[in-house]
Amino acid sequence: MPPPPTTSNGNATAPPPTTIPLSNALMTKLKPAKIFKGAVEPTPPSTPVARSHQGPRHITAITFDDRGDQVLTAAEDETFRLYSCKTGKHLKTLYSKKYGVDLPRFTHRQTTVVHASTKEDDTIRYHSLHDNKYLQYFKGHSGRVVSLEVSPIDDGFMSGSVDKTVRLWDLRAPTCRGLLNLPASPIVAYDSSGLVFAVGVNHYSRILLYDQANYDKDPFLTITLEDPTLALVSYPPRPIYMTSLSFSPNAKYILVGCSGDAHYILDAFEGHLLAKLEGHVGLERRRIDAPQTIDPSKGNSGEEVSWTPDSKYVVSGSLNGKIIIWDVQNLPVRSGVVDLKAHPTRLQPLTTLDGHPGPSRCVRFNPRLAMIVSAGAELAFWLPDQSADNEEIAKELLRKK
């Protein structure tokens, strides 16, 4: 038997970490391993009555660093909270009472984030978590930033605002390096190569795909998001309100998160509508007992749906607090001219996990670990429950005897 590998100083190296493939069995065994009840400060009693009727304060966004070691939350109490995904411990709390916080996104360093503001102005801020200082201000938007994404390959990032513009930035320069004017409030996403980005435009139900190197040219693909099954529910059909876009890690699909009771998966190359994800309650309302409005709106939606790193599953939150998981490994294949009348495959959940007492408005799968983080009025870390496996192994051993 060969000796264990050693480092240059003679110490034995640690064995490589084990890789667990995600499977239907593993996804159904996810359980809350840790719940942080005090992840948001309670609403102070002096708050105006109108605000207090909305219920407890929520975590509004979560972000992982590139290695999946840390997760950062932003909340309505105007705090960032940093947690270790490996130890399950709260590491630090940082306050941004002057500007507010929303849409934090880790850069490619573990100690810095960019985030949107909720007060004072609509500046994007580059923030050091190490010493709680601002490193740069990115000014230009004249309305609230509703979408913010960091390039997967470099120091570029992109923002969409209610001022109907998309701005392209670089962390090293305070002025934007690109500007797109659009007919309505946009949402944005990079593909996994960083060479293509998508812009979703509500009210027009369009998703525009741009070449990053030629963003000043027309989009190379314009996708129309039209769901013919909505006309079976009501006529005229209730419009779709897009609140997030994300390319699958394998770059084949686009996941469209919506504030209504369905999310959608599109083919990323030609724009065919492939699947309609059902089984959750949309986050258009803040509370499940609130009446639905006539016109669709963003509500609390935008951070509740995401891919797993292998592109096999989609995880989502729900207004009723559940965590929904869909198996998307067997999506239909479509090619040729896009038929807007073709019905998408209607996918029901693989499993529905009992989640939060209030809305689960932020749900993200860790980029490196078999772990889901979900958040609303509290924060939860979900891990696969291995005890069931141990019971099955014990039964198998008894049978063999």
Query: What DSSP assignment string belongs to 177-238?
Result: EEEEE-SS-EEEEE-TTSSEEEEEETTTTEEEEEEGGGTTSPPSEEEE---GGGGGTSSSPP
3-state secondary structure string across 107-145? CCCCCEEEEECCCCCCCEEEEECCCCEEEEEECCCCCCE
What are the pLDDT digits (tens) for 318-358? 988 899 999 999 999 998 999 889 999 999 999 999 877 77
Q: What is the pLDDT of residues 278-329, one digit of tens each?
A: 999 887 666 666 666 666 666 777 889 999 999 999 999 998 889 999 999 9
* Between residues 74 and 52, the one the model is more confident about: 74
Residue pointed to by tokens 């951070």: 303
Q: Could you read off the pLDDT of 202-224 as tens digits, one per residue? A: 889 999 999 998 988 999 999 99
Lowest mean pLDDT among 9-18, 125-134, 158-167: 9-18
Confidence of residue 8 (pLDDT cuts 50, 70, 90): very low
pTM of the model: 0.87
Q: What per-residue confidence (pLDDT) applies to 311? A: 94
Q: Which residue would you say has higher pLDDT here, 250 or 234?
A: 250
CA nearest neighbour of 277 among 256, 263, 259, 292: 263
How do residues 53-105 score in pLDDT, each as one tens digit?
A: 466 788 999 999 999 999 999 998 888 899 999 999 999 998 877 778 889 99
Does position 51 have pLDDT exceeding 50, yes or no? Answer: no
State the pLDDT at residue 201. Answer: 94
Residues shown for the chain:
401
Mean pLDDT of 153-160: 94
Model confidence at 399, in pLDDT bands (50, 70, 90)? low
Burial of 317 per CB tally in 10 Å (0-12, 13-18, 19+): buried
Q: CA-CA distance, 133 to 111, in Å (whole number)?
A: 11
pLDDT score of 131 more than 90:
no
Q: 164 or 5: whose pLDDT is higher? A: 164
Q: How far apart are CA 127 and CA 134, in angstroms?
A: 5
User: Quick check: 266 pLDDT over 50?
Assistant: yes
Q: Residue 107 has what pLDDT?
A: 94
**Portion of the chain with pLDDT greater than 70, in percent:** 85
Per-residue model confidence (pLDDT) at position 43: 74
Q: How confident is the model at residue 236 (pLDDT cuts 50, 70, 90)?
A: confident
